[in-house]
Amino acid sequence: MTDNTEERDPEALLEQSKEQKRHLSEAQEQVTDDDEPPLEEYIAEVYEELEAGEVPTNLTMRDQNLAALIRGLDEAGQLDPVGADIRDHLDRDEADSESRGSLLGLLVRAGLAEVRPDLIEAGESGYETYTERQETQF
């Protein structure tokens, strides 16, 4: 098989390269370093940074469709019932979704718990590691 790139239109080649997905055109690099700390350790370190005020506690997300849905639910008076449903689903107290931001946090947790429960477990383990370090500091 010969490569006729010299005969092809440069604009067409450029357009074709834009359409290719990077993950399909490059080999995936696998992390196999056994010395790498587990996710829980990274999470515990972030908790320490949060306590020290080194990183923000808020998350920013831009999604026009979700913004319209959440605002529409709020304006229709349906956001509170959604909050009650998600609290029931996650077995949380009412205080856990008093604000729109805390409700959104619960919705993200529910989604992660559904798709990747191992990540929720890692978060819980990371928090436990963090609190154990706090208790043992003199």
The pLDDT tens digits of the residues spanning 4-51 come to 444 556 555 555 555 554 444 444 444 445 678 999 999 999 999 999
State the burial class of residue 103 (Cβ atoms within 10 Å of its Cβ: 0-12, 13-18, 19+).
buried
Q: Please, what is the Cα angle at 91 between 87 and 69, to 5 degrees? A: 25
The reply to whether 1 falls in a domain is no
The reply to whether 67 falls in a domain is yes
In whole angstroms, how far apart are CA 114 and each of 29, 37, 85, 119? 27, 25, 15, 10
Specify the pLDDT at position 135. Answer: 80
> Tokens 């940074």 map to which residue?
49
> Tokens 């913004």 map to which residue?
67
Specify the pLDDT at position 79. Answer: 93
The reply to whether 15 falls in a domain is no
The pLDDT tens digits of the residues spanning 64-90 come to 999 999 999 999 999 999 999 999 999
Question: Nearest CA to 130 among 34, 49, 16?
Answer: 49
Confidence of residue 98 (pLDDT cuts 50, 70, 90): confident
The reply to whether 32 falls in a domain is no
Specify the pLDDT at position 95. Answer: 77
Q: 130 φ, ψ to 5°? A: -60, -50
Q: 6 φ, ψ to 5°? A: -65, -30
The reply to whether 87 falls in a domain is yes
Mean pLDDT of 48-55: 95
Residue 108 domain boundaries: 37-136
Structural domains counted in the chain: 1
The reply to whether 20 falls in a domain is no
pTM: 0.66
The reply to whether 2 falls in a domain is no
Q: HSE on the CB side for 62, CA within 13 Å?
A: 0
The reply to whether 25 falls in a domain is no
The pLDDT tens digits of the residues spanning 124-136 come to 999 999 999 988 7
Distance CA 75, CA 57 (A): 27
Specify the pLDDT at position 117. Answer: 96
